[in-house]
Structure 1
Amino acid sequence: MKAEPIAPSVSDESPDPRVQAWADMRLVRSLLIGIFIFMTMAALYFGRAFFMPVMLAFLLALTLTPIVRVLRKRGIPEVVSATLLVLLSIFVFVSAGYLLSGPVIDLINNTSTIGQQLTERLAHFQRPLAKIMDLAHQLEGLTETTQEPGVQKVAVAPSGILSSAAGNILEAGTAITIVFVLSLFLLASGTLFYEKIVQSFTSMSQKKRALRVVYDVEREISHYLLTVALINAGLGTVIGLGLWGLGMPNPLVWGAAAALLNFLPYVGALITILLVAIIALISFDTISYALLAPAIVLLCDVVEGQFVTPMVVGRRLEINAVAIFIAIAFWSWLWGFVGALMAVPLLVVIKVFCDHFEGLSHVGNFLAAQQSFVVDDETGEQDHKTAT
């Protein structure tokens, strides 16, 4: 009996259409996510005049929300408490600007003098680098002499300085107005924002879940922002008093700078220490006494970072140092110094939001410094997950 030839297997050579369709779908999804992220970054960059004050207003409203809640339990309506808090914030902002404007302007005007005095003070430390500096000047001279003899250097003076300054002041005033007015409306609206979110869902279970997530995120972020703001204010006060006791000039400026820059973990403390060290070196007679000023700032920053903040805020909202540096670099590139100040609060917002959704737990796990928490949507309990 003659054997029939065996037909070649098609399944081994051609892929499964369902697998191919699933791979194509994942590719399209990845491309769409990439396009969405790129467009979002472009919108944030080109629309920073709108998005930056709006985000600042939301952060300010979240910071003051716990106070509004406490006052509401005491019988004070949200409109009254929100108005008083925003007016108090405006008063603090204007007073700080008025008190700090004079010393800060003097420091800016005396920048060249400060640099010359610092160079003279550290002259004996610069002797090993003298030969390198001379060589650099010789190379610079060679590059200048090798240019074409007929070519002249033309220095173009900046024009329209007054109009540019006026435009910047007007833009800053508009942004500040948007921040305070929008934060007032957000605080005075009470639970209206949450009601609108709940109304967007149909089933009762979805409404309960959305309301629970929104309240949890709002409570944790509000507590964090208010606590960190108070800690930074206390840190600036202690540093200012310590520098005032040493006889440091303009201790109010350095206390305010320490409080403001402490919103930038690691980077802000380093900048404050360097600035205080420079002013101390040109202000005091001996270098050993001048080093006491940055030593006080360093001691206060270590105590705040290692003991006070972890004890008051807790370990749950600690952020990975790598994520902090990436966020500061990204937001400073996007929105400058103001963006750098908002980088860590926005990072905390993202982390708290990711911790409430199982699908985003890997993002929250990466952002966490030690341990990540994922909230169960049904029970509301928190599952511990060790961060990698």
Structure 2
Amino acid sequence: MKPEPDALAAGAAEATEARAVARADTHLMRSLLVGIFIFMSVYALYFGRAFFMPVMLAFLLALTLTPIVRLLRKHGIPEVVSATLLVLLSICVFASAGYLLSGPIIELINNTSSIGHQLGERLAQLRRPFEKMMQISHQIEQLTETSQEPGVQKVAVAQSGILSSAASNILSAGTSLTIIFVLSLFLLASGTMFYEKIIQSFASLSEKKRALRVVYDVEREISHYLLTVTIINAGLGLVIGLGLWALGMPNPLVWGVAAALLNFLPYVGALLTIVLVAVMALISFDTISYALLAPAFVLLCDIVEGQFVTPMVVGRRLEINAVAIFIAIAFWSWLWGFVGALTAVPLLVVIKVFCDHFEGLAHVGNFLAAQQTAVVDDEPVEENTEAAA
């Protein structure tokens, strides 16, 4: 006997419903696994920052110097020689900058109290509306102290010695710098070894070609971006340092280096530089009108760099939306402190370029992109991958 049509329809509906339930369960399980993986990754990055931070910085340094190594290889210089020279040059630059900046920075730290006192005197007229509130707060604090029971004792936690803490920090910083430079040297000197390992993990020839195309394209875009932005920030720091020196600002080298480093933080870094320069200018110059020239000059340089130089040299394709930038800076600042804040945007660009080359992650790259580049640039990606092939 043939089954009735109603029975067939009911069986098909049940099978369809069962498949839908199975797909939903699979999707839920996959989402849970992804969430657990992300949570465990953040946990590992936070508690293992002493290891992951120098490794991440080494990879970023190697990616920054890779275009120079490739250029020197085209002129007949082996990767080992060029990588060694570049790493030694980087060590000399960092050591020289540390030596030149150590004196002025220590002096600024030692004079923090006097700087605050001088700044308060210059801005005394702005503090008058708040003096009454400060007096009320002080009176409340005195009443709280006098109302304590006589038998209650305050417990003070003894701090460790300053010398031992400083020695521990210096040792930790030296170990991290050693890991950064040595690992970046190995990465630069390895040449195409990692690309060969990636190709060997695929079976078919088409998959190998696609993997090689994607890896070369991602590496080229990220390396070009990091090197270009580093050169632009160095130029910005040089211009700001020379301009502040011409205005008579004390320690112009410190503010030039600070401007170059903080410019890796879009929006936030420029604002911090302007505020710091304004504070030092107010206590360094006699008149407020002349003191305002220094932060105005820094603001002008930041506007020219952000609105003209960087978009013209780097292009609009790798721009990140402001919301993603602030979230990344807040997250990496909480995770790794100031070093994490400096690496937040380069890491965000790395993630965006990586996501743009995979269809399953295209929505993530689309979210990270700026508003004017919200539509994924499929054609340029294909052209770049074909050129890389």
Range class of TM-score, shorter chain: over 0.9
**Counterpart for residue 83 of structure 1:** 84
Give, in whole Å, the separation in 2 of the partners of 1:382 and 1:144.
69
**Counterpart for residue 95 of structure 2:** 94
Farther off after superposition, 93-102 or 155-164: 155-164
Does residue 309 (structure 1) correspond to residue 310 (structure 2)? The answer is yes
**Counterpart for residue 382 of structure 2:** 380
Does residue 355 (structure 1) correspond to residue 356 (structure 2)? The answer is yes
In structure 2, give the amino acid aligned to 1:361.
Answer: A
**Counterpart for residue 275 of structure 2:** 274
**Counterpart for residue 257 of structure 1:** 258
TM alignment of 1:125-274, pairs within 5 A: 125-274=126-275
Does the 8 Å contact 1:57/1:183 carry over to 2? yes
Higher helix share: 2
**Counterpart for residue 3 of structure 1:** none
Does the 8 Å contact 1:356/1:374 carry over to 2? no
Give, in whole Å, the separation in 1 of the partners of 2:155 and 2:33.
49
Q: What's the TM-score, normalizing by structure 1?
A: 0.93
**Counterpart for residue 339 of structure 1:** 340
**Counterpart for residue 291 of structure 1:** 292
What whole-Å deviation, never above 9, does each CA across 1:251-291 have from its counterpart, x for those lacking one? 00000000011001111111111111111111000111111
What whole-Å deviation, never above 9, does each CA across 1:322-375 have from its counterpart, x for those lacking one? 000000000010011001110000000000001111111111111111214355
Report the alpha carbon displacement of residue 238 of structure 1 after superposing the two structures with TM. Answer: 0.4
- Relative to structure 1, the CA distance from residue 327 to residue 320 in structure 2 (aligned partners, 3 Å threshold; closer, same or farther) is same
Give, in whole Å, the separation in 2 of the partners of 1:128 and 1:295.
27
Report the alpha carbon displacement of residue 81 of structure 1 after superposing the two structures with TM. Answer: 0.5
**Counterpart for residue 48 of structure 2:** 47
**Counterpart for residue 108 of structure 1:** 109
TM alignment of 1:66-81, pairs within 5 A: 66-81=67-82
Does the 8 Å contact 1:361/1:374 carry over to 2? no
Give, in whole Å, the separation in 2 of the partners of 1:252 and 1:143.
47
Does the 8 Å contact 2:217/2:384 carry over to 1? no
Does the 8 Å contact 2:282/2:292 carry over to 1? yes
In structure 1, give the amino acid aligned to 2:296.
Answer: A
**Counterpart for residue 39 of structure 2:** 38
Give, in whole Å, the separation in 1 of the partners of 2:353 and 2:364.
10
In structure 2, give the amino acid aligned to 1:48.
Answer: R
Give, in whole Å, the separation in 2 of the partners of 1:63 and 1:44.
22
Taking only the aligned residue pairs, the percentage that are identical comes to: 80
Give, in whole Å, the separation in 2 of the partners of 1:103 and 1:382.
47
**Counterpart for residue 3 of structure 2:** none
**Counterpart for residue 60 of structure 2:** 59
Give, in whole Å, the separation in 2 of the partners of 1:206 and 1:147.
75
- Relative to structure 1, the CA distance from residue 382 to residue 191 in structure 2 (aligned partners, 3 Å threshold; closer, same or farther) is closer
Report the alpha carbon displacement of residue 194 of structure 1 after superposing the two structures with TM. Answer: 0.6
Give, in whole Å, the separation in 2 of the partners of 1:156 and 1:54.
35
Q: Which runs of 5+ in 2 are unaligned?
A: 1-5
Give, in whole Å, the separation in 2 of the partners of 1:345 and 1:201.
29
In structure 1, give the amino acid aligned to 2:45.
Answer: L
In structure 1, give the amino acid aligned to 2:273.
Answer: T
Does the 8 Å contact 2:238/2:256 carry over to 1? yes
What whole-Å deviation, never above 9, does each CA across 1:309-330 have from its counterpart, x for those lacking one? 0000000011111000000000
Task: Work out the number of aligned pairs and report it.
Answer: 376
**Counterpart for residue 18 of structure 2:** 17
Give, in whole Å, the separation in 1 of the partners of 2:365 and 2:15.
40
- Relative to structure 1, the CA distance from residue 223 to residue 382 in structure 2 (aligned partners, 3 Å threshold; closer, same or farther) is closer
Give, in whole Å, the separation in 2 of the partners of 1:376 and 1:282.
55
**How well do the aligned residues superpose, as a CA RMSD in angstroms?**
2.1
Give, in whole Å, the separation in 1 of the partners of 2:62 and 2:14.
61
Q: What's the TM-score, normalizing by structure 2?
A: 0.93
Does the 8 Å contact 1:357/1:374 carry over to 2? no
Give, in whole Å, the separation in 1 of the partners of 2:40 and 2:157.
36
Report the alpha carbon displacement of residue 10 of structure 1 after superposing the two structures with TM. Answer: 7.5
Report the alpha carbon displacement of residue 156 of structure 1 after superposing the two structures with TM. Answer: 3.4
Give, in whole Å, the separation in 1 of the partners of 2:330 and 2:259.
20
Does the 8 Å contact 1:240/1:251 carry over to 2? yes
Give, in whole Å, the separation in 2 of the partners of 1:290 and 1:361.
49
Report the alpha carbon displacement of residue 145 of structure 1 after superposing the two structures with TM. Answer: 2.2
- Relative to structure 1, the CA distance from residue 63 to residue 140 in structure 2 (aligned partners, 3 Å threshold; closer, same or farther) is same
Following TM superposition, where does structure 1 have runs of at least 4 consecutive aligned residues deviating by more than 6 angstroms? 9-15
Does the 8 Å contact 2:328/2:344 carry over to 1? yes
